[in-house]
Structure 1
Amino acid sequence: MAIPTLTSYPLPREWRENKVQWTLDPGRAVLLIHDMQAYFCDFWGAASPFVAELVSRLAQVRQRCKDLGIPVIYTAQPGQQSDVDRALLSDMWGPGITQHPDRQAITAGLEPADDDTVLVKWRYSAFQRSPLEHMMAELGRDQLIIGGIYGHIGCLMTACDAFMRDIQPFMLADGIADFSQAEHQMALDYVATRCGRVLTCREVLGLGDTVRSLPTRDDLKSRLLSMLDEMDEPFDPDENLLDYGLDSIQMMTLLSEWREQGLELNFTDLAKTPTLNGWWALISDRGGVQ
């Protein structure tokens, strides 16, 4: 019934292609550090290198967010929960943290600062029985960066809930941890294809760096494939994209998205060589990341 003893695993390095190509904007984003309490980290054992590495990555992301003016919000279950408050969680997980209220604090290395917000966590989603949505609306922010534990439970449910509230979720692929590699992988694949965008901690650390925020070749390919109709043959990077069905409105959409990322191209540039390789050559000339 309780959370099982957990072991470290190699973090997933790949996941399903992101269905959306939302651009993370420091002026619209909030960082959510989800349930990084000592009690939940303890299931990997004392002084776990796996947890220490996760804490280190999240601490770097948190600092970068603070540098960019992105608000930081934590969730934490209360150390004491009545049967009424805990409700169905008791059926699924037993008494949980109420047996170890001394382990309720956020784990060492990620302690909230005075200007951070800590929300009481009652259910899988950070939005349930909390003012998170209202707080984000008051701040004028509609993007949520999600890191913490556990990936396929609270982190995933929070991402789904955000999506259903018209808040864009960004899941940190290497900024979450889970019961197993398989469950971690499942959470990433689901977010990428159903309710948000998966990105790495390094991408958040690169926010504000014009060169590193430009699209990669994989980004370009993924974005093009999301715009094209299903194909019966393999995608050819040297084939004319107009023959694949790409139209001028979609090309203008791409130009607008790239302009927001600091990449200045025009319609004439794209029309000269309308292939993936041709467009990537143009982006590379302007500092695109391989």
Structure 2
Amino acid sequence: MGLPAIGSYPMPDRTAIPRSHVSWRIDPARAALLVHDMQNHFVRAFPAGRAPVVELVDNIAALRELADTLDMPVVFSAEPAGQPPAQRGLVGDMWGPGIGDEPDAAAIVAPLTPRPGEHLLANVRHNAFLRSHLGRLLRSQNRDQLIICGVHAHLGVLLTAADAFMNDIQPFVVADAVADFSAEEHTLALRWAARTGVVCTTDGLLRALLLHRERRNA
């Protein structure tokens, strides 16, 4: 099985955001931004030039720009191309061989190309913490909050958020900066994410980060 055909669907707005069970507040001095699997292979499965992919890329770009401005670590996870079956393991049974050797299939989409000083981690499982040094990277920079965006909401985003929570890292899932196979799976992922962290919108998170900086500098 490979990626399913993905149809256009509208990004959720703030009225569709599930209530989180915690009242954590984002702090740019504690937070890092994770851009999960925003590779051509995955993004091209969405209808080009339509929702949700247009908002997905634009909102992640806005989060990334502010993160850079606030000196927050920016981390990209990316599935390696051409993984042998032994490395794919059970993921191969479920999703097939993964990214092949097609030109630029494994690259991060052009509007989000990693910059010098940003981090690019190989991601061999949906959970970006598993078999990577993401946890060590966050600890080394004294970061215990993780803003998560990218694809796919009910797989990598949700599993990464749950693992962050289990390791005492506060996850913030950005509802309109993630996307999924369908609106139904997107909504389901947000409901579950609200049980392990904060679900927010891009605009709300950007305002909260800027407000925290203003208060700190006052």
TM-score by length of 2: 0.92
Alignment of 1:150-189 (within 5 A): 150-189=152-191
CA-based RMSD of the aligned residues comes to 1.8
Shift of 1:3: 1.1
Shift of 1:57: 1.1
Shift of 1:52: 2.7
Question: Residues 202 and 140 of structure 1: is their aligned pair in 2 closer, same or farther, counting only changes over 3 Å?
Answer: same
Which deviations, in whole Å up to 9, do the C-alpha atoms of 1:130-188 show, x marking residues without a partner?
00001111101100000000000000000001000110000001000001111111111
Q: Which residue type is aligned with residue 71 of structure 1?
A: P
Q: Which residue type is aligned with residue 173 of structure 1?
A: A
Distance in 2 between residues matched to 1:46 and 1:199, nearest whole Å: 25
Question: Residues 46 and 18 of structure 1: is their aligned pair in 2 closer, same or farther, counting only changes over 3 Å?
Answer: closer
96, 119, 122: which is aligned to 2:121? Answer: 119
Q: Which has the larger radius of gyration?
A: 1
8 Å Cα contact 1:173/1:188 also seen in 2: yes
Shift of 1:48: 4.6
Shift of 1:35: 0.2
Q: Which residue of 1 aligns with 2:27?
A: 25
8 Å Cα contact 1:79/1:101 also seen in 2: no
Alignment of 1:1-290 (within 5 A): 1-13=1-13, 14-48=16-50, 50-98=52-100, 100=102, 102-192=104-194, 194-210=195-211
Give 3-state SS (helix, strand or coil) of 2:19's partner: coil
Q: Percent identity among equivalent residues?
A: 43
Shift of 1:70: 0.7
8 Å Cα contact 1:39/1:100 also seen in 2: no
Distance in 1 between residues matched to 2:9 and 2:2, nearest whole Å: 20
My pick for the range that moved more, 92-101 or 175-184, is 92-101
Question: Residues 209 and 120 of structure 1: is their aligned pair in 2 closer, same or farther, counting only changes over 3 Å?
Answer: closer
Structure 1 unaligned residues grouped into runs of 5+:
214-260, 263-290
Q: Which residue type is aligned with residue 61 of structure 1?
A: L
Distance in 2 between residues matched to 1:208 and 1:198, nearest whole Å: 15
8 Å Cα contact 2:30/2:145 also seen in 1: yes
Question: Residues 53 and 15 of structure 1: is their aligned pair in 2 closer, same or farther, counting only changes over 3 Å?
Answer: closer
TM-score by length of 1: 0.70
My pick for the range that moved more, 99-108 or 112-121, is 99-108
Shift of 1:49: 5.4
Shift of 1:99: 5.6
Q: How many residues align?
A: 213
Distance in 2 between residues matched to 1:175 and 1:27, nearest whole Å: 21
